[in-house]
Amino acid sequence: MKLEDIYCTQDYSLYTEEDHKVWQTLCERQHQSLRGKACRQFYEGLEKIGLDFTRMPRLDDINDRIKPITGWTARAVPGYLDSRYFFKSLQQRTYPTTVAIRSAENIDYVEEPDIFHDVFGHVALQADPVYGELMRNLGDINGITTTDLDVLEITRLFWFTIEFGLIRENGEERILGSGFLSSPGEAGYCLSDKVERRPFRLAEVIAQPFRIDVYQDILFVAESLEQLIEAAKVLIYQINERNTIRWGTK
């Protein structure tokens, strides 16, 4: 299957009034729960993309605002993607964005990403040029993975930065990860005394197991987005070196 085949059309006419109400509830509740907790890039991103909390977002409208700033676009996908296609999209500065939204009955938790997680949690941050460069670099890593170990390491780096990462800002720990940004429960939990927060070190991050069905009890705090970009570049180098030796070309 070609990369272009993974995308679909966002048919805005299919959204119901209940969908709009769920979106509004999620946005207003989460924006309140993040007060004093999220990184500045998130708040600035919400303003740059002009996110309307009262109606479901139109990806075309968001792209009109974000693409001139960072070159990123959000493109609709029907649901969960194989990681190969997901990261190939990132290489092209395209974020695969689920267009379905959770039901009112499941408003507190859904197992797979929905449009609230993707737009509120991910796309807003892509209005920041440095964050956008970080995402592109992570796409580059996936392009060189050939072994299960390669995939495991990139998955852990993505998990503990883009999804469930923290960053230091003016001497204080702030939320960076989209999994926290789009979850009221985890947004409060991740900065509590129940969580062990460690300085970000690449070797420790890619060696740290995680579970997807529980709140994270070990997290890593980056000093800056630039530190994470450098970590992505180092991992690219390490994987290249390991695979070069593995295939006997060095």
- Pairing type for strands 172-175 and 196-199 reads unpaired
Total domain count, the chain: 1
Nearest Cα to Cα of residue 95 among 110, 111, 112, 117: 117
Contact criterion met (CB below 8 Å) for 76 and 97: yes
Ramachandran sector of residue 23 (left: φ over 0; alpha: ψ -120 to 50; beta: rest): alpha
> Which tokens sit at 153?
């390491």
Q: One digit per residue, pLDDT tens: the chain, 250 residues?
A: 788 999 999 999 999 999 999 999 999 999 999 999 999 999 999 999 999 999 999 999 999 999 999 999 999 999 888 878 888 899 999 999 999 999 999 888 777 889 999 999 999 999 999 999 999 998 887 667 778 888 889 889 999 999 999 999 999 999 999 999 998 788 989 999 999 999 999 999 999 999 988 899 999 999 999 999 999 999 989 988 887 766 555 4
Distances (CA, A) of 81 to 25, 74, 88, 95: 27, 14, 11, 11
DSSP H or E run through 95: strand 94-98
Residue span of the structural domain in which 236 resides: 3-246
In this prediction the pTM is: 0.91
210 residue type, one letter: F
Q: Distance between CA 207 and CA 30 in Å, rounded?
A: 31
What CATH number should be reported for the domain holding residue 216?
1.10.800.10
| CA–CA–CA angle 229, 230, 232 (5° rounding) | 65
